Amino acid sequence: MVRKLRIALAQLNFTVGDFEGNKAKILDAISKAEENRVDIIAFPELSVTGYPPEDLLLKPQFIERNMETIHEIAKNVGNIVAIVGFVDLNEDIYNAAAIIYQHKIVDVYHKIFLPTYSVYDEDRYFSRGRRIPIYEIRGCRVGVNICEDIWYPDGPGHLQSLAGAELIINISASPFYAGKREYREKMISVRGMDSIVYVAYVNLVGGQDELVFDGGSFLVSPQGSILARAKIFEEDLLIIDINAESVLRTRLHDPRIRKESNLAEGKVERVFVAPYEKWDREPIAPRIEESPPVEEEIFKALVVGTRDYVNKNGFKKVLIGLSGGIDSSLVAAIAKEALGPERVVGVLMPSQYTSRESIEDAEELAKNLGIQTYTVPIKDIFYTFNQELKKNVWGDMPEDVTEENLQARIRGTILMSISNKFGWLVLTTGNKSEMSCGYATLYGDMAGGFAVIKDVMKTMVYRLAEYYNRTKGFDVIPKRVLTKPPSAELRPNQTDQDTLPPYEVLDPILKAYVEEDRSYREIVAMGFDEETVKRVIQMVDRNEYKRRQAPPGIKITPRAFGKDRRLPITNKFRPFAKS
């Protein structure tokens, strides 16, 4: 008999807690798969609840609504096998995959490896699975596991293959950071080669608070090659035909699985799901979507993360303080691409220190993007603030950074007042280089609801702006914005480099210290000046309190501030102190 399977990987954008909306997406995808005579359709991890549900998992009513939803879904599944991520309640709760066929849940797989690193904290909520099944579906043997399970070479997937599985389906919710997708594909390619098995990987897509999921679901052959890949950062239904006989042919010529098969004895349970049906379908040509370059990948992540945060939280418009600088220009461009120009509003707030060029650049940017703007000068407001404070509080004390921060706080107040009046979300414009060093004002330029480029180093900000202009075919972000020295313009002739090292020096030091946890001595050994390294480390460490009060922002690096990097504010450890 011809043993083939047609599978569909339903790469969808779910919302945490939206049980009705998530159910509708799942049922719609099942309907489309049935039209294409698909045998198995797989959905991402925790599709029913959305990912990650975090402490909603501590609410019994949330778990119950999730259970009701998976049973409602099951009632609508006919002659197709659906693999759906949900939270199983069985004395304790489990991160689970329901195997559904002919209107009932035939079996449930429980995730075995629960990650507790980086942004993950699954061991806080879930009990660990202990059972490893493989499923008989249409004459083929299929293993199902969940996300982290596939990252272990000797994990459930390998045992399932030793027990005869010809296809492993891994349902996942793997958050994006730049470079992760290539690493993930290489790792799963190795799993396919090592276990001589097809591996189908279905990933979540879309934004959830600080996380963004890139999709890019794919199929790997038993030889480790990519046979199909879904779109990046878009919903997609990837349909693929698999010939199970090719696994047998390969294994006949490679004795590894045969020699190790005893390792699976007594550990893997066989479950019958759906009977064999004669294959009489026209083949579907495999589709391999292109992998974008790094700037495009990051830009798309920022667009999707912004769009979903705004839309899923019900905001009609966003508000951005336009300074004529590179950061606010990039944030405005991202917002326009995410939401459309009619939902983006810019506010110019010039002071006595704002250059004519900055005003011109902000106005040109707004015109190029097609967004509405307001202008609220702060010169008189600042004068009144300053005079009242001098008269009633600090008298003849000399001016210092206080007056600079006061201007930023006036601007923050203006933005938050407009937000309050109209219900628009303020997008802050601080980048990772600034946030790392505390080169930002609490309740000033840090005031807002969402920090779009919070995890983007300044040097990458420039690369993304240049990329955006290239894609548009003209300088949407004015050329002068990209070439003039960056400045907060809070005092005469001010530039960022009055306070910070040049960004081409600063950013590699920050990457080493913040993202890679390298020691002071290691960073100096990389060729950086000792005093510069010490000064940067001091700035990073003493500004943890500011970052705790910053709005959430999109993770695009392996180590972002927030869930990724959690340090105590009260902390006497000094990395450069003598041991």
* Cβ atoms 319, 449 nearer than 8 A: no
The answer, yes or no, to whether residue 372 has pLDDT greater than 60, is yes
Percent of the chain with pLDDT over 90: 79
| 454, 323 contact by CB (below 8 A) | no
- The distance from CA 484 to its chain's CA centroid, rounded to whole angstroms, is 32
Q: Is residue 558, in this structure, part of any structural domain at all?
A: no
45 carries an active-site annotation: yes
Cβ 189 vs Cβ 200: under 8 Å: no
Q: Which of 111, 300, 312, 336 is catalytic?
A: 111
> Residue 346's pLDDT is what?
97
Is 475 contained in some domain?
Answer: yes
Q: Are 430 and 440 in contact (CB under 8 A)?
A: yes
User: Are 34 and 130 part of one and the same domain?
Assistant: yes
Residue 167 lies in a domain: yes
Q: Measure the CA–CA gap between 300 and 206, rounded to whole angstroms.
A: 11
d(Cα 5, Cα 139) in Å, to the nearest integer?
Answer: 9
**Shared-domain flag, residues 209 and 347:** no
Residue 480 is assigned to a structural domain of this protein: yes
Residue 578: pLDDT band (50, 70, 90) is: low
Q: Which distant-in-sequence residues (6+ apart) come within 8 Å of 384 by Cβ?
A: none
Domain end, chosen from 496, 523, 541, is at 496
551 in any annotated domain:
no
Tell me: do 220 and 180 sit in the same domain.
yes
Q: What is the pLDDT of residues 428-446, one digit of tens each?
A: 999 999 999 999 998 999 9
* Residue type at position 21: G
Give per-residue pLDDT as tens, 209-250. 999 999 999 999 999 999 999 999 999 999 999 998 888 888
Mean pLDDT value of segment 352-360 = 92
Asked if pLDDT for residue 1 goes beyond 80, the answer is no
- In angstroms, the CA 429 to CA 387 distance is 29
Q: Are 417 and 374 a contacting pair, CB within 8 Å? A: no
pLDDT of residue 496: 75
243 and 392 in a common domain: no
- Reduced to 3 states (helix: H, G, I; strand: E, B; else coil), residue 149 is helix
| Average pLDDT rounded to a whole number, residues 412-424 | 96
At 211 the pLDDT is 95
Whether residue 501 is contained in a domain is answered as: no
| Biggest CA-to-CA distance, the chain | 94
Residues 140 and 246 in one domain: yes
- What is the per-residue pLDDT for 332? 97
The verdict on 248 and 342 lying in the same domain is no
Q: 150 with 243, same domain?
A: yes
One domain for residues 270 and 301: no
Q: Give pLDDT, residue 360.
A: 94
Q: Provide CB contacts within 8 A for 159, sequence distance 6+.
A: 132, 263, 264, 267, 268
Same domain, 61 and 15: yes
Last residue of one domain, picked from the residues 209, 240, 274: 274
- From 4, 25, 140, 147, the catalytic residue: 147
pLDDT at 573: 84
pLDDT digit string, tens, across residues 471-485 = 999 999 999 999 988
Kindly state the average pLDDT of the residues 496-523: 90
Helix (H, G, I), strand (E, B) or coil at 504: helix
Stated as kind and residue range, the H or E segment containing 128 is none
Of 127, 102, 133, whose CA–CA distance to 112 is shortest?
A: 127
- What is the Cα–Cα distance from 96 to 88, expressed in whole angstroms? 6
Residue-level pLDDT at 579 = 45
Question: Cα dist. 172→96, 181, 217 in Å?
Answer: 11, 13, 9
* 111 in active site: yes
Active-site choice (45, 166, 297, 489): 45
Looking at residue 280, its pLDDT comes to 86
**Per-residue pLDDT at 577:** 66
Distance in angstroms (rounded) separating the CA atoms of residues 430 and 456: 9
Q: Which of 465, 496, 527 is a domain's end point?
A: 496
Residue range 132-188, pLDDT digits in tens: 999 999 999 999 999 999 999 989 999 999 888 999 999 999 999 999 999 999 999
Domain with 197 in it? 4-274
Residue 506, domain member (yes or no): no
Same-domain pairing of 468 and 401:
yes
Mean pLDDT of 308-322: 96
Q: How far apart are CA 448 and CA 446, in angstroms?
A: 6
Where residue 420 sits, what CATH number does that domain have?
A: 3.40.50.620
Which range of 67-76, 156-165, 442-451 scores highest in mean pLDDT? It is: 67-76
pLDDT of residue 328: 96
- Indicate the pLDDT class of residue 118, thresholds 50, 70 and 90: confident
pLDDT of residue 121: 85
pLDDT band, very low/low/confident/very high, at 571 (cuts 50, 70, 90): confident
What is the tally of structural domains in the chain?
Answer: 2
Above 70 in pLDDT, residue 193? yes
Residues 6+ apart with CB under 8 A from 147: 45, 111, 115, 170, 171, 172, 173, 174
Residues 369 and 259 in one domain: no
Same domain, 315 and 256: no
Whether residue 222 has a cis bond before it, omega within 30° of 0: no
Query: Are the beta carbons of 17 and 49 closer than 8 angstroms?
Result: yes
Annotated catalytic residue 210: no
Residue 525 included in any domain: no
- Quote the mean pLDDT of the chain: 93
> Which residues does 419 contact at the CB level (< 8 Å), separation at least 6?
319, 425, 426, 449
Residue 24 sits in a domain whose CATH number is: 3.60.110.10
